[in-house]
Structure formats: C-alpha cells, structure tokens
A and B are shown apart, each in its own frame.
Chain A
Amino acid sequence: MKRQIPLLIVIILGFIFAIHTFVPHKASADFYDWYQTWMKAISPFMVLLGIMSLFMVNTAKIRRKVPNWQYSVVTLLSLIVTGAIGFIWGTQEGTPFMWTFKNIQLPMGATMFSLLAFYIASAAYKAFRARSLEATVLLAAAIIVMLGQVPIGMAISKWIPEVSNWILNVPNLAAKRGIALGVGLGMTATSLKILLGIERTYLGGGE
C-alpha cells in the first residue's frame, strides 16, 4: 500500500493534467483553479519541510562530530540569525536584513562566481593545446568568440564579431538544437514511463 497509493496518485493526476493541457473545457479549467488554490496552501509547508530537513541533517552532523562539523554550526547560526533579523526588523531597504544581504551574502556570492575567471585562465594556459585538428579548431573558435565578445574585436576587424556570431548562430546552434531534441525526446519517454507506472525509481526504496 505504501508504494501503490503514491503510484496511483501520480498516474491519476498525471493523466488529468495531460488532458487539461489539451482540453479547454470549463470542467478542466475549474479543476485547474481548484488545484492552484491547493498549491498555494501547500507551498509554505514545503519551505517548512526544507528547514526541518536542514536542521535534522546539520544537528546530526554536529552531534556525531563528523569531519568539518563546524561548518554545520555556521550554517545553522546563519539561518537562525538571518531569519530572526528578517522577522524582527523586516526585509526592506535600510533594515539589518538588507545590510546583511549587501555586506555578507552579496560579496560572498560574487566571490564564488568570480573564481571562475581565475580557473578558466589557468585551465586555458595549462590545457588548451593544438594537439590535433579538432583541438585546433576548438582553440581558434574560442579565440575568435572571446575577441568577438569585447570591443577590441571590432576594433581589430569588423570580421571578428561577424565570424564570432556565425560560430554562435550556426555550429553552436546546430549542436544545441540536437541536444535539445534529444533531451526533449528523453523527457517525453520518461514522462510516459512514469504515467504508465513503468518507471518507479522516484518512489525510492531501491527497486
């Protein structure tokens, strides 16, 4: 029963939503309105579930003193402090919450992403070698696109941005479209397998 009931819910609702997409009948629209109201009511519980899960996982790490358990303390403290100052003083401009965001969250987030520039430069120097014809083509394309993305590319020659755009609009687009078609077909097949009850790994249990 523990597996059959969730499976039944997924199959029935899956078919109902598939039918709703293709049948613009009033009953179908009314059902969707009813579903939306339920979704709005349920969504806060998802946040609650997420917070509970975060607490359980991190308190367990602290209790067991697993390697790097100190980071779990920082995670929980950050969650409590940020939540508390948001509840007490609000989240508008000029509040401690906004100060925390601008002075802690914002620079930390920007730092994480900006590290990419250093890794790309280092990787380009160490690994980008014209070892074969394919690697040489990739290398030339990378240099043209990099120059095409900055004003100096246009200053050197008007052809650089033109060729850069061609690379993005023709070979890149062809590859992306191929990948998208493959992903789309895969998603359709997996959705059908879930709807028909063939694919059950999402239920867990290691079957």
Chain B
Amino acid sequence: MANEKKNFFDRMQALDRRYIYLVVALAIILPLIIPFNSKTYVTEPAENVYKKIDSFVSPETNLGRRDRAVLLVFNHDASTMAELFPMEVSILRHCFQRKIPVFTICFLPTAKPLMDYALQTAKEDFNVQSGIDYVNFGFKPWALFTPIVLGMGDDIAKAVETDDEGRIVENLEIMKEIKNYNEMNLVVDFAASAAVVRWITYARSRFGANVAAGVTAVMAADNYPYLQTGQLVGMLAGLKGAAEYEKLVDVFAMHRVKENGVEKIVSRNYSKEVLKDSWIKLSDIKNTSYKMARLGMNAQTIAHIMIIVFIVLGNIGYFVNKKRDAKK
C-alpha cells in the first residue's frame, strides 16, 4: 500500500488543511478589497422590523412621534461585531433620519464601547442631540438585567435612573411623553447568544412590549420558533439581515432625489412594489460604514461557494475511492 501510486483523488482527500485556509482567506479578502455590486433580496423578518420602526412615524408630520420610542440593547462583544455592528448602525440611521426617539443600553462591559462607537458612527450625518432625539442609558451590570427589564414596565426613568452622562433620566426632554413599554413599544436586542429570549419572557409576556432580534447567523435558527408565534415581531439574521436592513434604509428612509441638480434626502414610506424594483449601486454610497454589510455579503457569497466546492470535491473523491476499493 505504501508503494502504491496515489491518484489525484487520493491527494485531494489528504489535502493539507493549510491550502484550504489559504483559499478561504483569499475568498474572503479579495471581494473586500475589490468590491462589486450584488443584489440584496429583502426577507420578511427584516421587512417587519423596518415596518415596525417606521410605524412610529406620524402621517401628519412625516416625522417620529414623541410618544413612541425604540430601545436598542447591545448584548455582544467585539467578536461578533462584523455581523451585528452594521445592523445597529442601520437601525440608528433609520431612527435618526425619521426623528424617532431612540434609547440604547447594554448589560455587558465589553458591549459599552461598541454601543458608543455605533452611536458615533450613525449620528455623523444627522443633527441629533443627546437627551432630545436619543439617550444612551449606558452600561448597567448584568445583575440588574431582570430588575431593569421588569422596572421599565412601570417606569423607565425610575428603572434606569441615570443615563451614560450621569443625568437624571426623568428630567430629559426625550422622556416627556415616554413612561413605559406602552410608549417605548419596540425592543431590539442585538445578541450573539439566547439573550433575546429573556426580553420575550419578561417584557413581551408581562407587558406586551414588541421585541425584535438582531442576531448572528449561528443564533438565528434558535429564534425561528419565536418568529412563527409572533413573539418576535421581526429578526435580522446575521450579515444577510444587516445587508437587508441597510438596503431598506437606503431605499426608503434615506431615499435620495435630485432637485435642480442638487441631491437631497426625502424619506418615503415602505412599499413592497418600490422595493421589488429598487437597485442601489454600492459605489453611490460614499460612507463605507453605511454599506459594510453589503460589502461583507460579497465576501460571504464567495466563501459559501468555496465551501460548497470543497464539499462537492471531497464527496467526488470519496465516491471515486469507494468505487476503486470495491473493485479490489
């Protein structure tokens, strides 16, 4: 056997894994260095998150109602930033453009700088003020998670007490018409774990708050039962979900029109027909932070194809060798 000449398939079966690593690295790095346009197809769970947030816009003023707010919960660390950060920035941009009051909070110390970073990135192009358009509740110890989630059902200001800048939340202008989950009617939990279930258990079941999830692709499968039952109003699943939300924001909230040669943003309401025919060229979006997920999806597409090619090659080799062994 030792002297038997190895054929192509034998060599492929015993391929050094470092070659596989090299191919995967190239499949991921090259599309990021050389970006290309690919169409993003929006799925229903992502659409539902967008529509829910957009429902907080008053039809009269076409701006966010002051008695409605969205709570964004940052429940992850830097390791899952590639998937979750683009969706956080997109949702913040959506809220800032539509003037929907936003609250942010985190219960992990490692999530705090990410939350600050997301806020900094999203508010670059908007004239928004802390305490009026948004408020960052900052980091609260994990031990206080349940008391805060339950406490928000009665009084948000009482439950969190102070914001990230040490101000009394009750005194902030943003809180004038917002008391509890009746007003802060959507919680979006960004997590790489099953943390979103706790919001369903406490905020949804007890107070009827709407809960949505922004999770890594690995965790998405765990949340499908809650999507089907309606306990989750929507879900952004991994980089794909982030890319879908980026597109929704660009097509509707950040819709650009040219008037007398000057480009300006005119938000428009969600429409399935408009979405079907929309095509956003990535090269038209100058800020890389606003197209991060769609650029990443290019790399993910090539990586998935590579993995499928590897699986097919491995199986061809397996069956060829099996047939040869059977002949012997």
Contact = CB atoms under 8 A, between A and B. Distances in A.
Whether A associates with B in a native complex is yes
A112 B39 CA distance: 30
Interface stretch (B17-25, B63-71, B86-94, B176-184): B17-25
B78 A109 contact: yes
A39 B141 CA distance: 10
A117 B24 contact: yes
A129 interface: yes
Interface residue tally of chain B, by bracket?
Answer: 35 or more
B78 A106 contact: yes
Interface in A98-137: 98, 101-102, 105-110, 112-114, 117-118, 120-122, 124-126, 128-131
Interface stretch (A42-50, A52-60, A70-78, A192-200): A42-50
B287 interface: no
Nearest to A108: B78
B316 to A, nearest CB: 10
Given A42-B143, A105-B110, A117-B303, A176 B20 contact: no
B119 to A, nearest CB: 9
A40 B137 CA distance: 15
Q: Is the interface of B mostly helix, strand, loop or mixed?
A: helix
Given A36-B147, A150-B304, A139 B311 contact: yes
B113 A172 contact: no
A132 B24 CA distance: 28
Contact of A106 (B17, B23, B81, B225): B81
Contacts of B20: 118, 121-122, 125
A121 B82 contact: no
Interface residues of A, number: 58
Contact of A120 (B15, B41, B141, B307): B307
B125 interface: no
Contacts of A36: 147, 151
Contacts of B24: 117-118, 121
Contacts of B150: 32
A28 interface: no
Contact of B314 (A110, A128, A176): A128
Contacts of B108: none
B141 A44 contact: yes
B240 interface: yes
Interface stretch (B97-105, B167-175, B216-224, B251-259): B216-224
B279 interface: no
Interface string B23-57: 11100100000000011110100000000000000
A63 to B, nearest CB: 28
Nearest to B218: A116
Nearest to A130: B315
A44 B20 CA distance: 47
A23 to B, nearest CB: 14
Nearest to B165: A92
Contacts of B112: 91
B306 interface: yes
A128 B311 contact: yes
B21 A126 contact: no
Contact of B228 (A47, A146, A169): A169
A198 to B, nearest CB: 25
A147 B303 CA distance: 11
B78 A105 contact: yes
A151 B297 contact: yes
Interface string B148-170: 00110000000000000000000
A84 to B, nearest CB: 15
B79 A110 contact: yes
Given A150-B240, A180-B225, A122 B301 contact: no
Interface string B69-81: 0000000011111
A105 B112 CA distance: 12
A149 interface: yes
B275 interface: no
8 contacts: A39-B143, A46-B143, A101-B78, A109-B77, A121-B303, A129-B315, A139-B311, A180-B225
Given A101-B113, A102-B117, A106-B81, 14 more contacts: A32-B150, A35-B147, A43-B144, A105-B110, A110-B82, A117-B24, A122-B21, A125-B311, A126-B314, A129-B315, A149-B238, A150-B297, A155-B39, A161-B43
